[in-house]
């Protein structure tokens, strides 16, 4: 198992957000975490990444418990994140944003990232602040890739993007998932989540209340509707 999250409890200043979350992601597997606003999806991703300190529980990556280690230990262990809001460096160019993150040797280089997402090559000398939302999202994905992660965590990659751009991001993520990179994606856009993931989990009030294959989830529309409270 690549990622094993066990009974994770975490929150902010005494307010508990995660009430004992357990989940697994296998090598090469793609998993989507769904749920309404405010149920704790971002907190879960940040706790897995070490950006929020868990009060208890384990975050085991490749057999090593990282729950009480600093965020750079998570990156070294092979976890890459594409955060909510993208958070690329606005005063740096596309190529500088990628180069600054390219620390670890491996399959993914700045050159390979630009082959995967040719738009980034075309915009290589543009500043982060000059990019569209979709281009920024691709920089954020590329920045995570050049760290050569084993597991890529994405928090709402479709956020604020036009449908055509969501499709482009979806194609990139589907390609990555098909090459054997493990993906853990939080997403409100169900179509994107279902395109990328094989397995789905639904969160409610800081707990995982449903787990199934995407195919099972999609075959029971009424149940899916009840779990997510959306049409």
Ligand X SMILES: Nc1ncnc2c1ncn2[C@@H]1O[C@H](COP(=O)(O)OP(=O)(O)OP(=O)(O)O)[C@@H](O)[C@H]1O
Q: What residues contact residue 189 under an 8 Å CB cut-off, 6+ apart?
A: 158, 166
User: Please, which residue, 146 or 183, has the CB nearer to ligand X?
Assistant: 183
Q: What residues contact residue 19 under an 8 Å CB cut-off, 6+ apart?
A: 9, 205, 206, 207
Q: How far is the CB of 224 from ligand X (least distance, A)?
A: 17
- 81 contributes a contact to ligand X by CB under 6 A: no
Q: Which of 23, 29, 32, 35 binds ligand X (CB under 6 A)?
A: 35
User: Please, which residue, 12 or 91, has the CB nearer to ligand X?
Assistant: 12
d(CA 79, CA 152): 6
Q: How far is the CB of 124 from ligand X (least distance, A)?
A: 31
Q: How far is the CB of 167 from ligand X (least distance, A)?
A: 21
User: Please, which residue, 28 or 71, has the CB nearer to ligand X?
Assistant: 71
- 136 contributes a contact to ligand X by CB under 6 A: no
Rg of the chain in Å (alpha carbons) = 17
User: Please, which residue, 41 or 143, has the CB nearer to ligand X?
Assistant: 41
d(CA 224, CA 231): 9
CB neighbour class for 39 (10 Å; exposed up to 12, middle 13-18, buried from 19): buried
Looking at 37-45, 68-76, 95-103, 119-127, which segment touches ligand X (CB under 6 A)? 37-45
User: Please, which residue, 51 or 127, has the CB nearer to ligand X?
Assistant: 51
Site string for ligand X, 10-29 (x = CB under 6 A): --x----x------------
Structure tokens at 144: 């995570």
User: Please, which residue, 12 or 105, has the CB nearer to ligand X?
Assistant: 12
Best CA proximity match to 150, nearest among 77, 215, 94, 95: 77
Residues 162-201, interacting with ligand X (CB under 6 A): none
d(CA 156, CA 186): 5
Strand order through the sheet with 30-34: 79-82, 151-155, 182-186, 30-34, 199-204, 207-213
Q: Which of 3, 23, 32, 40 binds ligand X (CB under 6 A)?
A: 40
C-beta separation of 176 from 152 below 8 A: yes
Q: Judged by CB under 6 A, how many residues of this single chain contact ligand X?
A: 10
- 38 contributes a contact to ligand X by CB under 6 A: yes
Q: How far is the CB of 104 from ligand X (least distance, A)?
A: 28
Residues that bind ligand X (CB under 6 A): 12, 17, 35, 37-43
């Amino acid at each position: 198992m690549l990622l094993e999250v066990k009974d994770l409890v975490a929150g902010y200043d005494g307010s508990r957000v995660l009430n004992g979350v357990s989940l697994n992601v296998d090598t090469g597997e793609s998993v989507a975490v769904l749920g309404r606003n405010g149920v704790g999806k971002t907190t879960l991703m940040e706790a897995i990444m070490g950006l929020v300190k868990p009060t208890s529980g384990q975050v085991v990556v490749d057999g090593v418990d990282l729950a009480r280690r600093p965020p750079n230990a998570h990156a070294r262990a092979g976890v890459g994140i594409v955060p909510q809001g993208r958070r690329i460096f606005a005063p740096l160019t596309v190529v500088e944003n990628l180069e600054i993150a390219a620390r670890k040797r491996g399959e993914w280089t700045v050159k390979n990232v630009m082959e995967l997402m040719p738009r980034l090559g075309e915009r290589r000398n543009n500043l982060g602040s000059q990019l569209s939302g979709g281009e920024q999202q691709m920089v954020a994905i590329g920045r995570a890739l050049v760290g050569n992660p084993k597991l890529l965590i994405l928090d709402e990659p479709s956020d604020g993007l036009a449908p055509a751009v969501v499709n482009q991001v979806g194609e990139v993520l589907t390609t990555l998932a098909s090459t054997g990179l493990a993906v853990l994606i939080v997403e409100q856009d169900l179509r994107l989540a279902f395109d990328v993931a094989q397995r789905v989990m639904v969160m409610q009030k800081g707990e995982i209340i449903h787990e199934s294959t995407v195919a099972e989830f999609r075959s029971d529309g009424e149940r899916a509707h009840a779990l997510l409270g959306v049409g």
